């Protein structure tokens, strides 16, 4: 069947070198001018599609429309002058050939852009998605990214220390920009990998550092305000339940040793807010993740201790709601027996009739701000730091200190 110099390549195309190549090329070119002969190069109509295999190419469409490839390209991209009639003819040809538009792979290589924003989650996906904060930010982000023609590629984040430090996707997948959702210490392996690849980064709630765009909120200020509110109610014995300190994800009261080495900026800042308000927590309880069950565990421990705190300030609403549930479980009334405050300003209807006293952060805006930072980086501007405001929201879970 095959002449010595012809062969079929991995994608089913016939390839020929030297003189014969020119002959074949001429044949394919001819085929383009006579769509009838295209059969061999086109996937059967509506057959079970195997790969992303999109056999019909712009060249085929151009040939069918009787224009050059470049003109056909213009018809689709709209990024140049083209006569209305010509465009119409091209689109008509595309319709006839069931051409669904330019192959993104070719376009991407040529443009040097993938149109993809890698989003590195702060955790394994399951846990990350259970956090409404992450989810709402992600939602705000995609809303901003959509109109820019950008899509979100999910990249699992650092799990625990038993896992390899970065997901292979991070080192190999195409992405124009990366967003790291939480964490991002200076020596973060994720940031290191991205830096090596030359991929610009937007860091959310991380440690500011050179060459990285940062988006965050005024959580230190918000936490200070929240604490002052609690102090204003007369509380002095105040415990605090925190987000994880680092990838070790320890659970329990943190001694001075651990307190001095908090790797995650967000945890450190929110803790600093408490101190700023002049409060020295009776206990700093570290959790392995911002989840209801960890809050409940903390609540049980703190509220059954001898010298029970009269107020518990939590670094997230999920943790706070766990504490509220634990209090209820123990027969303690909130806020009569114990006050509980959270952070984030989530709407947690299942906590009804209670509404958490919390610090509300603008989640959708934060997502949008991340999107703006992404757009900045993509446009070659270096993104300024974006810090969004927060607002104290009084609910029903804080009240005067019990007498």
Which residues of this protein are in contact with DNA, per CB under 7 A?
2, 4-5, 7-11, 13, 15-18, 21, 24-25, 54-55, 57-59, 66-71, 73-74, 76-77, 79-83, 85-86, 102-103, 105-107, 109-112
Size of the site for a copy of itself (CB under 8 A): 74
| Closest approach of DNA to the CB of residue 108, in Å | 8
CA 358, CA 343: separation in Å to the nearest integer? Answer: 5
Partner whose binding site includes residue 199, from DNA, a copy of itself, none (CB under 5 to 8 Å by kind): a copy of itself
Closest C-alpha to 139, from 360, 363, 347, 291: 363
- Closer CB to DNA, residue 105 or residue 391? 105
**CB contact at 8 A, 333 and 107:** no
* 3-state percent helix, strand, coil for the chain, nearest multiple of 5: 45, 15, 45
Residue 57 contact among a copy of itself, DNA, none, beta carbon within 5 to 8 Å by kind:
DNA
Residue 351 binds to a copy of itself (criterion: CB under 8 A) = yes
DSSP notation for 77-118: H--S---HHHHHHHHHHHHHHT--S--HHHHHHHHT---EEE
Sign, CA dihedral 85-89-92-94, equals negative
Write down the least CB distance from residue 63 to a copy of itself, Å.
Answer: 20
- Enter the DSSP assignment of 385: P
Closest contact distance (angstroms) between CB of 36 and DNA is 20
Cα angle, residue 10 at apex, residues 7 and 15 outer, rounded to 5°: 30
Site string for a copy of itself, 211-240 (x = CB under 8 A): x-----------------------------
Cα angle: 376, vertex 379, 381; to 5 degrees: 55
Name the segment binding a copy of itself (CB under 8 A); options: 33-41, 105-113, 230-238, 274-282.
Answer: 105-113
CB of 358 to a copy of itself, least distance (A): 16
Instruction: Provide φ and ψ at 70, rounded to 5°.
Output: -65, -40
By the rule CB under 8 A, 112 interacts with a copy of itself: yes
Minimum Å gap between C-beta 220 and a copy of itself is 27
- The 19-58 site mask, x for binding a copy of itself (CB under 8 A), equals ------------------------x--x-xxxxxxx----
Site string for a copy of itself, 177-216 (x = CB under 8 A): x-----------------xxxxxx---------xx-----
Rounded alpha-carbon distances, angstroms, from residue 287 to 105, 214, 240, 246, 297: 44, 25, 11, 10, 9
Per the structure block, which two tokens stand in for 233? Answer: 């109610």
H or E segment and range at residue 341: strand 339-341
Query: Which residue matches tokens 């967000």?
Result: 266
384 binds, among a copy of itself, DNA, none (CB under 5 to 8 A by kind): none
CB of 325 to a copy of itself, least distance (A): 6
| Binding at 351: pick from a copy of itself, DNA, none (beta carbon under 5-8 Å per type) | a copy of itself
User: Using CB under 8 A, which of the segments 170-178, 244-252, 332-340, 387-395 binds a copy of itself?
Assistant: 170-178
Neighbours of 156 (CB within 10 A): 18
**Closer by beta carbon to DNA, 7 or else 333:** 7
Quickly tell me which residue has 């997901």 as its tokens: 167
Q: The tokens 């680092």 sit on which residue?
A: 246
């Amino acid at each position: 069947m095959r002449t010595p110099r012809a062969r079929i390549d991995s994608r089913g195309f016939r390839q020929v070198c030297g003189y014969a190549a020119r002959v074949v090329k001429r044949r394919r070119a001819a085929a383009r001018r006579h769509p009838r002969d295209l059969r061999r190069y086109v996937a059967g109509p509506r057959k079970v599609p195997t790969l992303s295999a999109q056999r019909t190419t712009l060249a085929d469409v151009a040939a069918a429309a009787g224009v050059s490839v470049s003109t056909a390209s213009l018809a689709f991209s709209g990024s140049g002058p083209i006569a209305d009639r010509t465009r119409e003819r091209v689109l008509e040809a595309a319709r006839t050939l069931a051409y669904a538009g330019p192959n993104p792979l070719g376009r991407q290589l040529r443009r040097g852009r993938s149109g993809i924003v890698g989003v590195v989650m702060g955790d394994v996906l399951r846990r990350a998605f259970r956090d409404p904060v992450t989810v709402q930010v992600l939602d705000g982000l995609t809303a901003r990214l959509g109109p820019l023609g950008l899509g979100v590629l999910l990249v699992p984040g650092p799990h625990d220390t038993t896992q390899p430090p970065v997901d292979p996707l991070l080192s190999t997948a195409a992405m124009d920009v990366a967003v790291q959702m939480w964490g991002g210490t200076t020596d973060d392996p994720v940031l290191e990998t991205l830096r090596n690849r030359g991929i610009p980064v937007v860091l959310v709630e991380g440690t500011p550092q050179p060459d990285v765009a940062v988006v965050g909120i005024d959580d230190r200020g918000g936490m200070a305000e929240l604490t002052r509110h609690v102090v204003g109610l007369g509380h002095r014995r105040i415990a605090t339940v925190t987000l994880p300190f680092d990838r070790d994800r320890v659970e329990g009261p943190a001694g001075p040793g651990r307190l001095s080495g908090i790797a995650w900026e967000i945890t450190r800042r929110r803790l600093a807010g408490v101190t700023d308000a002049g409060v020295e927590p009776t206990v700093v309880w570290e959790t392995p993740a911002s989840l209801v069950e960890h809050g409940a565990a903390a609540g049980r421990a703190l509220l059954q201790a001898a010298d029970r705190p009269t107020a518990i300030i939590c670094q997230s609403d999920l943790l706070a709601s766990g504490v509220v549930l634990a209090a209820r479980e123990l027969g303690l009334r909130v806020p009569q027996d114990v006050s509980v405050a959270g952070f984030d300003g989530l709407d947690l209807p299942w906590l009804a009739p209670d509404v958490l006293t919390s610090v509300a952060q603008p989640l959708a805006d934060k997502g949008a701000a991340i999107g703006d930072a992404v757009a900045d980086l993509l446009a070659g501007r270096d993104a300024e730091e974006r810090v969004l405001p927060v607002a104290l929201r009084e609910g029903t879970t804080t009240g005067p200190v019990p007498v």
